[in-house]
Amino acid sequence: MVPFVGLTGGMGAGKSTALDALQRLGAATLSTDAVVHELYASPELRDLVVARWGEDVAPGGVVDRRAIAKRVFAAPEERVWLEGEIWPRVGARIAAWREEIAVRRPPPAAAVVETPLLFEAGMQGIYDATVAVVADEAVRTQRAAERGHVGVDERAARQLPQEEKARRATYTVSNSGTIEQLERELAEVLDRLSIR
C-alpha cells in the first residue's frame, strides 16, 4: 500500500516548496490548488461563476481568480456557495488520482496531496497521515506579501493557526531554513511512513 498523505500549512509556510521536494524524494504529488486552476479553466465551472457573479469575473472567457477572491472573502455566503461547487469536484479528482497511483509500478514512496484547508475542511480522516509545514511568522508574512495575495487577513482568519495545524498533524516539518534542510526533514518523514 502506498501511504496516502495530506500536506498542509498556513499561508506562506511553503507548502508548494515542500510538495516539490517530496516529488524529488520519490513521492507522487498532487496540488489541490493546481486542481482548482484546472477547474476554473473548464467551461463548466467558468460558466457557473459567470452565472453567479457576471462576466467581469471571467473577462475574455478566462476566470480572474482575484476578482472571485474579492467576492468570496467579502461575503461568507458567497464563499460557502463556491466551496460547495469546488470541493466535491476536487474530491473526485483526488479519488481518481489515488486510483492511478495505486497501480503505478514501481510504486512511489507516498501519494501526497497538498490540501491547504485540510483540517478546516475536516478532511484528515481520508489520509493515512498528515504533514504540517510551518515557518517563522516573519518568513510567512514576507512570502505572502511577495505573492500579492488578495484578502490576506480574511484568508488567514479562515485558517487554523499554524501551531494548531502542527498539533493535529501526524508529522511537522519546518520551512524557515534552506531547501536542503527541508528536504532532510521530509526524507525522514518518508522513511517513517514506509515502516508504519
pTM: 0.85
Return the C-alpha torsion angle 30, 36, 42, 47, nearest 10.
Answer: 160
pLDDT, one tens digit for every residue, the chain (196 residues): 899 999 999 888 889 999 999 999 999 999 999 999 999 999 999 999 999 999 999 999 999 998 998 899 888 899 999 999 998 999 899 999 999 999 999 999 999 999 988 888 888 899 999 999 998 877 777 767 666 654 445 555 567 888 899 999 999 999 888 899 999 999 999 999 986 5
Compute the distance between CA of residue 193 and CA of residue 124 in angstroms, rounded to an integer. Answer: 16
C-alpha distances in Å from residue 57, one per residue of 11, 95, 184: 24, 29, 42
Domains and CATH numbers, the chain: 4-194 (3.40.50.300)
Residues written for the chain: 196
Residues 6+ apart with CB under 8 A from 60: none
- Positive or negative, the CA dihedral 32, 34, 36, 42 is negative
Cα 190 from chain centroid (whole Å)? 19
